[in-house]
Structure 1
Amino acid sequence: MSRLLVPVLVAALVVGIAPASASDDVSFDDVGEAARAGQWQLAAMRLPEAWRSSKGEGAVVAVLDTGVNCCHPDLRGAVVQGPDLTGAAKGLWGWHGTAMASLIAGRGHGDERKGGVIGVAPAARVLSIRVTLENGDPLRVQQRSGGHDALARGIRYAVDHGADVISMSLGGGSGAWEGSASEEEAVKYAIDKGAVLVASSGNDGESANRKNFPAAYPGVIAVGAVDRSLDVTRFSNRQDYLSVVAPGTEIVTADGDDSYVMSDGTSSAAAMVAGIAALIKSAHPDMSPYDVRTAIELGTRKRPANGHSAAYGHGVADALLALREADRLDVPAPRLAGPGPYPGDGPPPVSRGPVVAGMVVLVAAMSAHVLVRHRKRRR
C-alpha cells in the first residue's frame, strides 16, 4: 500500500534522474540510463548471475496494490489487467502499484533494453489487481464499502487466475494492525493451491513497530528493508515472523507514464523478494510455497548468528543463492529400475522359472528345519 512507500525525491536530481519533460536537453533515453545506473540492488542481490539460470519465464506475479500502469515503457507487454476491487473507480490511480510492478518484472527499454528499470524477474508477467487506494488519495479516508475485504478477494482472484506468486507491498485490507479472518482464510487458500505470498513488514520500526498484516499471517514471506551497506534501516519493522530483508532505500522505480521516482520503504524490498520467488517458480514450477520460502531463507547473506533475528529475519535476500538452494531442495525422488531392456529402464528382466523353483526349495528346507526343532522340544 502507498503508505509503505516513503518518497524521497521525485525528480531525484541528486542521482541525475529527472522527468523526461524537464528539459529539452534531457531525452527520455538519458533519463532511462540514469534510472538503470541507480539500481544498486541489481549487484547487491547478484541478479546478473542469477539470470543465467532463470529470468522468470512463465511465472505470473499478482501485484495486489493501487493498480499498474501498463503503458510505462518499462512495463509494456508485461502486464495483464485484473479487476478493481476498491469500489472507487475514480481518484488517484496506479503510482505505487506501477512502482512495485517495475521492481518485479520491469523490462527496461531502448537499445537492448539497457535503459529504464529492470525487475528481478524481467521475463515474468504481472497480474494487476487493485485492492487499495493511493496514500494521498482523498477518497482513501472515505473509501466506499465496495472496498470491504478487497485484499481477501484479491488474493482469491489471483489464485483462481493462475498466479504463482502474490506480491503485497501494503499493510491494509480489513484490518491493517489486527488482521481479519477473511484475509487469513484467503492466505491459507492461496498456499493450499500452491501460490507463494510475499508482503512488506511495515515502516514504523523506529516508532510503534506494530504487527503488520498481511505480513504477519502464517505462511506469508514477510520482508524488511536494508540500505546500501546491507544494514537494516531504522524504519523497517522488527518482528519474530520476519522472513528476510532486501534493499529498501534509494530505490529507483517506474512512475506515471514515462518517468521515475526514487523512494525508501519495505514495499520495494517485498516486491524484490516476490521477484526472487518468481525466478524460483519459473525454474521449479511444481515447488511448494514452503520449499520456495525455505530456499529464499536459506539462500541469504549476512545471516544472524543464531539463524534468525527480529531485525534481519534469516538474512539479506540473494537471488543467486536462493536459486541454488531451490535446485538443492528440488531433487527428484530415486527412480526404480524399469521392467524392460529400453534406454533408462534398468537391467533386462530375469526369467521367473528359476526364481520360483528356488523359492519352493527354500520353503521346503525351512519347513523341515521347523519340524526337527519341534520334535526336539517334545523330548
Structure 2
Amino acid sequence: RHGTGMASVIAGRGHGAGNQDGVLGVAPEARILPVRVILEDNDPQRERARTEKAGALADGIRWAADHGADVISMSLGDDSESAHPEPREDAAVQYALGKGIPVVASAGNGGLKGNHVSYPAAYPGVIAATAVTHLGVRARFSTRHWYATVSAPGDAIVMAGTGDSYLSGWGTSPAAAFVSGAIALIRAAHPDLSPAQIRRLLTSTAQDAPQGGRDDDYGAGLIDPAAALKAAATLKPDPQKPVPAAYAHRYFGPGPTPDDDPAGPTDWLPWTAAALGLTLLTAALYFWRTRP
C-alpha cells in the first residue's frame, strides 16, 4: 500500500471523464519502475529480512540506475537511535549521481522522537524532503536536521490504495514523492541537466524561503515545480559531466565506468615503482653500513 500510494503521488493518472476522478499525480505521464527493497510493516519476515538483506537498498539503487531510472525516489529511511551510515548505500547513491540521476529521500518522521539523523536522506548528494501541512508550516512529525533540502506537502495527503481504495496518509514519504514528481517534470523537458543543477533549481525557486536562505525545518523552502520548470528553460547542460563513484565491481549492468584495459600502458607503473623503491632502499642500507 505504501509504494502504491507514493507512485500515485508521483504519476497518478486519474480516471473517468477528463481524468477528474481518482488521483492525479505531479507528473501523470511518468512511468514507475518499482524496486522492492523492504517488506511491508505487517510482514512477519520484515525484521529478519532487514538484518539478512542489509544490502538490499544499495543493490536496489544500483539496479534502478542501470535500468533506465531518470530519478530515484526513496520514501523510506532509518531514523532510529541506532541509525548509521552504510558504506554500500552511500556508494550506491554516488553511483547513481555519477550516472546523472537525481536521488530523493524522505527526511524522516522523527520530529517528535528526537530528530535522529535518517538514512538514506543524510547521504551526500541526496535531495531530502521535509513535510509541511496545508497551512505551509512544518508538520510536527517532520524531522528537522542539517540535511533538509526542500519541503513539500506531507500531511493528510490523499493517495491511491490497492484495488479501488484510497488512503489519507502523512509523512515525509509523500513529501519525497512530491519532490520526485517535480524532478520527473524537469527531466522530461530537460534531460541533460545534472543532479546538481536540478538541486539548485529546486532550492533557488522554492517558496517561503527561511531567513538566511535555509533552515533545518524547511530546507530552502516549499518546492515550486512550476517555477523550477520555468527556470530550467534558461539553463544549459552543465559542461562538467558527473564523475561516477569508484567501485570495485559492478552490479546488474555496465554502468558508467569503463573497464580497465588489462594490457594498458599503466599496468607496469606499480611494479616499476616497487622495484625502484626496493633498489633505493638496498642502496641506502649499503651506504649506511659502509660509511666511515
TM over 0.5: yes
Partners of 1:207 and 1:153 in 2: CA distance: 29
Q: Quickly say closer, same or farther: Cα 1:331–1:127, change in 2 above 3 A.
A: closer
**Distance (whole Å) between structure 2 residues aligned to residue 332 and residue 276 of structure 1:** 20
2:157 to 243, 251, 256: 251
Which residue of structure 2 lines up, in the alignment, with residue 123 of structure 1? 29
* Correspondence for 1:329 among 235, 244, 249: 235
Name the counterpart of 1:150. 56
What residue is the counterpart of 1:12 in the other structure? none
Instruction: Give per-residue Cα distances to partners, 1:303-342, cap 9 Å, x unaligned.
Output: 0110010111000011111112222333799xxxxxxxxx
Partner of 2:167: 261
Verify: 1:207 aligned to 2:125, yes or no.
Answer: no
Output the CA distance in 2 between the equivalents of 1:332 and 1:213: 28
- Aligned residue type for 1:184: D
The answer to whether 1:235 aligns with 2:141 is yes
Kindly name which structure, 1 or 2, has the bigger radius of gyration based on alpha carbons: 1
- Flag structure 2 segments of 5+ consecutive residues without an equivalent: 240-292
Counterpart contact for 2:192–2:237, Cα < 8 Å: no
Distance 1:331 1:172 in 2: 34
Question: Partners of 1:119 and 1:129 in 2: how far apart?
Answer: 19
Q: Moved runs in structure 1, 4+ residues, more than 6 A?
A: none
- Residues 221 and 243 in structure 1, CA contact (< 8 A), matched pair in contact too: yes
Q: Match for residue 201 of structure 2? A: 295
Secondary structure at the counterpart of residue 125 of structure 2: coil
Return the alpha-carbon distance in structure 2 between the equivalents of residues 304 and 172 of structure 1.
27
Residue aligning to 2:8: 102
CA deviations 1:145-179 (Å, max 9, x no partner) are 66231110000000100101000000049x98202
SS of the counterpart of 1:143? helix
Identity %: 49
Superposed CA RMSD? 1.8
Aligned pairs, how many? 238
Deviations 1:57-109 (A, max 9, x none): xxxxxxxxxxxxxxxxxxxxxxxxxxxxxxxxxxxxxx111010000011111
- After superposition, the Cα gap between the structure-2 partners of 1:145 and 1:202, relative to the gap in structure 1 and judged at 3 Å, is closer
The equivalent residue for 2:216 is 310
Separation (CA, whole Å) in 1 of partners of 2:105 and 2:144: 14
2-side partners of 1:123 and 1:280: how far apart? 13
Aligned mates of 1:257, 1:127 — CA distance in 2: 19
Letter of the 1:138 partner, please give it: P
Which structure 1 residue ranges, 5 or more long, are not aligned? 1-94, 334-379
Change (3 A) 1:137 1:101: same
| TM-score normalised per structure 2 | 0.78
Aligned position for 2:266: none
* Partner of residue 274, structure 2: none
Indicate conservation of the 8 Å contact 1:197/1:220, yes or no.
yes
Query: 1:60 maps to which residue?
Result: none
Q: Tell me the distance in 1 between the aligned counterparts of 2:19 and 2:36.
A: 28
Of residues 185, 191, 195, the one that matches 1:279 is 185
Which amino acid in structure 1 is aligned with residue 199 of structure 2?
R
Q: Distance in 2 between matches of 1:330 and 1:303?
A: 25
2:97 is matched with 191
The structure carrying a bigger strand percent of its residues is 1
| Superposition deviation, residue 241 in structure 1 | 1.1
Give the conservation status (yes or no) of the 8 Å contact 1:176–1:213.
no
Match of 2:45 among 139, 151, 158: 139
Q: What displacement does 1:269 show?
A: 0.3
Whole-Å separation in 1 of the counterparts to 2:202 and 2:224: 8
Contact 2:194 2:237 in 1 (8 A): no
